[in-house]
Amino acid sequence: MRYFLSISFLIVTLTACEYRTVRLQQFEVHGIDVSHYQSRINWDAVGGEEIHFAFVKASEGISMVDTLFCRNWEEMKRIGLYRGAYHFFRPTLPAELQAENFLSAVEMEYGDLPPVLDVEVLDGASKVQLITGIRTWLYLVEIRYNIKPILYTNLKFYNKYLAGHFNEYPLWIARYNSREPRLACGRDWQFWQYGNRGELSGIAGHVDFNVFNGSMEELKSLCFSPPLILSEGFIEGP
């Protein structure tokens, strides 16, 4: 009996040690993503935690806007983080109205990260309906801002439903592991959400930890930028 109790204690201890998401120090650029679930964040405290970027939930479906989006959006700018906004996609609802919901909520500024479409549920939709809706949302948001949005999903969902599609868009993959995601189609990822139990000063409870697959300069190159004025007076987008 003592032997089994010792084994049980060891398992519980190891699990407790692994409960907190530990930062992956081999990456240069670190970030978080938040929503109203983190409640009111002390962004000044977060600013002292060597975080370089943050994504915040803006909207969901055709009418929902995150209750803390406006506050988080302004605070992220105030402390100098690279900031991005995301929309949680509902595949059975009209993609045009979902894009309109996001565009009405988010006022992008130069230096912001591209908009993000968060796709992780089917809600009973078919694969064709899912792909068509995603493409519509991405297209409408891209033509509004003249920048390609980022597509977010988890590794299993991507490999099952999205691999081979949307290769022209930056990819943000969720895989809670210390090993990097490997995509079925062989393409690279740009952002990786590697854990959902991170701890930071200024945030009560847990927060998702992310890394960018590149340098700070490469992150900056992804951001929303003003159009270039060419020598002949022509305008070229970012």
Where in the sequence numbering do the catalytic residues fall? 33, 120
Q: Using CB atoms within 10 Å of the CB of residue 48, give its burial: 0 to 12 exposed, 13 to 18 middle, 19+ buried.
A: exposed
Give the whole-angstrom CA distance, residue 101 versus residue 109: 18
Amino acid 214 reads G
Give the whole-angstrom CA distance, residue 204 versus residue 206: 7
Q: Are 220 and 80 in contact (CB under 8 A)?
A: no
Q: Are 66 and 39 in contact (CB under 8 A)?
A: no
Backbone angles phi, psi at 194, to 5 degrees: -100, -5
